[in-house]
Structure 1
């Protein structure tokens, strides 16, 4: 590995002069800085960031802590955040928790030890108390999910309104047996989406038994498959489904295709998220569109401003982006035959 000593020997300079030139010290002439940087580039020198941080230099790494990289919402927002961070000279680091609070804690300990500049986190349902302490000691903000113990900096979606609109669309079409598949109420997103579903039924004047909720792991494709399989076996099977996560939507669409259920003739479906394939799945999937780019840009701008201004006390900041209802061919008025039963 090439060191500053190697560069100094090549140029006939002291090691301290080389170090100061590489750190853009004003005491070093521009000519010397140019010679040192040129030699460093030619020799393949890579600076020791850990050593610079020990001397008080700041990190240029921002961590994104998410539950599941397989969820396209998180992978897409990671891509958008990375582009925004790169434009400002920062690098994005990715950590995956699998919604396990102890894994979340281990990652945060490592991130704190490496002195990342900041953290953008989609928290687990019940963050460990040590995770709370670690996050309070570094610039951070919450994305999508919001836990009260982690501060008041949050960027999210109006989940309640998004699911209310999706369900109201089915009610307006005349459906009176509607099922909702979503995440557990322990997650703030799960609770908000379920509330939106129920409020649409109430506003539509439907009885309490008009809607059924199947709750489970939001990142489980299998839960989506199994839940719709159970629903289609019931004597009073629903005529419409509204879904509360991308992974659940993928599971439901796979199961409906495998069973040959006619959408929307036998079953109307409103998905969650707008994957590239959703527009050409079957008749085209009516779905809740998510403002991914808007959220990613907002998160990046807030974090960059926080890192550059270094305020002594972060005031509360909340950004709520609306979802959208993307209308396609998977929803229609009820009236066809009952959904196909699995063999």
Structure 2
């Protein structure tokens, strides 16, 4: 088995220079890096990553906490985070909390026990006062999730404004009895979306009645159940804003099966612009988040804090979103008729 000394001898360089290249340290010329990499390849030498990590006191691993990977948005986010982390020489482990407070705290122990170098929280279940002490063990960055005044870096879109724009779009399409569907968990994001939605309604002398607020809906099946509820109990509803494209797709599918015309009888807006929203008939109007940009900035900031041992100063990066208008809300061409 080849050793670092064998690599140094074949490359005609010192053992120290080889070590610097293996550990990605500066002040080595490109010519020497090429010689060393060629020597390692010829000898089949594989650096001992465990030893490198012990010397650097880093695991080169990042934990990402999220509710569930089956949600297409989080699946897309993980893929983007993993690709960017790899560019920096880091690997990602996925920690599904299923919105359980104790699981979230258990995963944060990975930071405290030095099993990961940093944590990305794509969702937040506990109160911040329970999370904050973990900052003493390493950097934490909020990605997608955010709060108002906490001393932690946050990367996200303006969910309040996005929900406002979605509601306003439904109103502009002629909807006058608009329902609101959400995941139900009282996160800061869910509260902000509801505020934005209600602001748009109030500006047009409308309001969100308790009967038109449907909570704890997460996937396609919940979307179908939501439509059945509206059909039986709120048949006059003519528009709905949902917290995900999955729910929106379930509503469109169930409504179409029951003979409701989308959007003439019911206009539907989703969230996240997943492929499912484009494949539905009709295609679903939705909010698109710049996932790749958010993921890239998140990894960049976190790795910078890890390598430079920064004290995690408060930084906020708010990215633009886009309301993508499709046929599920295009009510202008056909007048609504009584069902």
TM superposition score normalised by structure 2: 0.81
Compare 63-72 and 115-124 and name the one that shifted more.
115-124
| Structure 1 residue 9: Cα displacement | 9.8
State the superposition RMSD in angstroms: 3.5
Offset of 1:103 from its aligned partner? 1.8
After superposition, the C-alpha distances for 1:241-272 in whole angstroms (9 at most, x for unaligned) are 11112332233234334434321122111111
Match of 1:326 in 2: 324
The answer to whether 1:106 aligns with 2:106 is: yes
Aligned pairs for 1:8-23 (under 5 A) are 23=19
CA contact (8 A) 2:165 2:323 kept: yes
Partner of 1:336: 337
Deviations 1:292-315 (A, max 9, x none): 12212221222233234333x332
- Partner of 1:341 in structure 2? none
- CA distance change for structure 1 residues 187 and 9 in 2, over 3 Å: closer, same or farther? closer
Does 1:184 pair with 2:180? Answer: no
Structure 1 residues 103 and 279 mapped into 2: Cα distance closer, same or farther (>3 Å)?
same
Aligned-partner Cα distance in 1 for 2:120–2:238: 40
In the alignment, what sits opposite 1:53? 53
Q: CA deviation at 1:55?
A: 3.4
Correspondence for 2:146: 146
Task: List alignment gaps of at least 5 residues for structure 2.
Answer: none
Measured against aligned partners, the alpha-carbon deviations of 1:122-162 in whole angstroms (never above 9, x if no partner) come to 23322596654334421120011125797321111111111
Q: Is the Cα contact below 8 Å between 2:66 and 2:123 reproduced in 1?
A: yes
Pairwise CA distance, 1:96: 1.8
Which position in structure 1 is the counterpart of 2:87? Answer: 87
The reply on whether 1:239 has 2:238 as its aligned counterpart is yes
Counterpart of 1:24 (choices 10, 17, 20) is 20
Q: Contact (CA 8 Å) 1:152, 1:317: kept in 2 or not?
A: yes
Equivalent in the alignment of 2:314: 316
User: What SS class does the counterpart of residue 237 from structure 2 fall into?
Assistant: coil
| CA distance 1:289–1:110, change in 2 (3 Å) | same
Does residue 286 of structure 2 align to residue 287 of structure 1? yes
Q: In 2, are the aligned partners of 1:104 and 1:131 still within 8 Å (CA)? A: no
Q: Secondary structure at the match of 1:330?
A: helix
- Does 1:302 pair with 2:301? yes
- The verdict on how the C-alpha distance between 1:152 and 1:10 changes in structure 2, with shifts beyond 3 A counting, is closer
1:193 aligns with 2:193: yes
1:271 counterpart residue number: 270
How many angstroms apart in 2 are the aligned matches of 1:41 and 1:106? Answer: 41
Moved more, 229-238 or 158-167: 229-238
Deviations 1:15-43 (A, max 9, x none): xxx986763389xx99x999997776566
Q: What's the secondary structure of 2:212's corresponding residue?
A: strand
Per-residue deviation, 1:321 = 1.9
Helix, strand or coil for the counterpart of 1:55?
helix
Q: Distance in 1 between matches of 2:61 and 2:139?
A: 12
Q: 1:283 to 1:38 in 2, by over 3 A?
A: closer
* C-alpha distance in structure 2 between counterparts of 1:335 and 1:42, whole Å: 73
* Residues in 2 aligned to 1:272 and 1:206: alpha-carbon distance in whole angstroms: 22
Q: Deviations over 1:167-221 (max 9, x none)?
A: 111112221111011122611111111111111110112255498211115x444
Q: TM-score, normalised by structure 1?
A: 0.80
- Equivalent pairs, count: 327
Aligned to 1:154, the other structure's residue is in SS state strand
Partner SS state of residue 146, structure 2: coil
Distance in 2, matches of 1:38 and 1:228, equals: 62
8 Å contact from structure 1 (residues 135, 150) kept in 2 = no
Q: How far apart are the structure 1 equivalents of 2:262 and 2:8? A: 77
Cα contact 2:246–2:276 (8 A) shared by 1: no
Distance in 1 between the 2:328 and 2:8 partners? 73
